[in-house]
Amino acid sequence: MRFVTIDRRIHALTATGPVDLAPVTGLPGDPAAFFAADGLEATRRAFREGALEGTETAGTTADLSGLTLDAPVPQPRVVWCIGLNYRDHAAETGKEIPAVPTVFVKSPGAVIAPGATIEVPPFVTQPDYEGELAVVIGKRARDVAEADALEYVAGVTVAHDVSARDHQYVTTQWCWSKSYDTFCPMGPVLVTIDELDVTDLPISTRIGSEVLQDSNTGQMVFPVAHLISFLSQGTTLEPGDVILTGTPAGVGLGRTPPRWLQDGETVEITIGGIGTLSNPVRRSS
Ligand code: ZN
């Protein structure tokens, strides 16, 4: 199944386009509250019983152009992030493959919608892109085993971990340099993982005709199931919580010379089976 969020309310993509799920299911429209109330199962039932047109896979070919979408979870409780989680990216930064996941958070206030503008603060001189697979938690998870971890996923989407490199490496902590307002675009669509193999998805980042990242989630050092299990040890993951799973090789920092985001550029991140997240960049001086 595929979901979009419009006016902060979760919609199913059906054979006839997006349908607001709150009136159909009687559940809350807020995506996190919807998943907490077992909205995935309610949506499946609505398709089976004909309350939604088409089948659970009806939204696969939906045309999203012309829709004004929010991020799938517009205001998550937390955005967990994993650093250096692709073998090819760890190599380009000259860092060793980590033995345990490198965990940090982005401020949830940085989340913006597909198509919304990334506003680089004037004092940031090295803004960089990072295309990432994002996981949205679907039910409360605590101390879950890796073998069971994917049962706790509502779905996956595309995220952009915008990073101010000039600030990232003047401290040992990464939250600051990655939490500026607008530095976490997400979307356009949330896809349930029964439609995908999250261990084998092509992921690429493009600016205009330049293909800057071109990899596969199979390059992850710690796969999605491991990350969920790891993060849930001693820490409760709640429905609507987001996990950014790291970026592959090709970031601007790893290029010679480094390539920073420029005013007026549009960054397009595509993950196979999900779609393309596109956001323009504005730099003011
Ligand atoms: Zn990242």
CB 115 within 8 Å of CB 279: yes
Distance CA 69, CA 17 (A): 13
Give the mean pLDDT of the chain.
Answer: 96
Distance 144 CA to ligand 1 centre (A): 24
Task: Please indicate, yes or no, whether the overall pTM of this predicted structure exceeds 0.85.
Answer: yes
Distance 262 CA to ligand 1 centre (A): 19
Distance 281 CA to ligand 1 centre (A): 18
pLDDT recorded at residue 31: 98
Region 248-272: what's the mean pLDDT? 97
Residue 198's region, left for phi above 0, alpha for psi from -120 to 50, else beta, is alpha
Q: Is the pLDDT of residue 79 over 90?
A: yes
Region 149-164: what's the mean pLDDT? 98
Per-residue pLDDT band for 93 (boundaries 50, 70, 90) equals confident
Task: Kindly report whether the peptide bond that precedes residue 248 is cis, defined as omega within 30 degrees of 0.
Answer: no
- pLDDT: is 63 or 232 the higher one? 232
pLDDT recorded at residue 18: 97
Distance 247 CA to ligand 1 centre (A): 5
Distance 81 CA to ligand 1 centre (A): 6
Write out pLDDT tens, residues 167-218.
999 999 999 999 999 999 999 999 999 999 999 999 999 999 999 999 999 9
The β-bridge relationship of strands 153-160 and 266-271 is: unpaired
Write out pLDDT tens, residues 218-239.
999 999 999 999 999 999 999 9
Write out pLDDT tens, residues 36-59.
999 999 999 999 999 999 999 989
pLDDT recorded at residue 114: 98
pLDDT recorded at residue 92: 82
What percentage of the chain carries pLDDT values higher than 70? 100
Distance 129 CA to ligand 1 centre (A): 9
Distance 58 CA to ligand 1 centre (A): 32
Distance CA 106, CA 136 (A): 15
CA angle, residues 135, 138, 143, in degrees to nearest 5: 85
pLDDT recorded at residue 225: 98
Region 101-123: what's the mean pLDDT? 97
Residue 143 CB neighbour total at 10 angstroms: 10
Distance 284 CA to ligand 1 centre (A): 24
Distance 88 CA to ligand 1 centre (A): 13
pLDDT recorded at residue 94: 83
Region 72-80: what's the mean pLDDT? 98
Domains recognised in the chain with CATH numbers? 2-61 (no CATH), 79-283 (3.90.850.10)
pLDDT recorded at residue 102: 94
Distance 251 CA to ligand 1 centre (A): 10
Least confident of 25-29, 57-61, 166-170, 262-266: 57-61
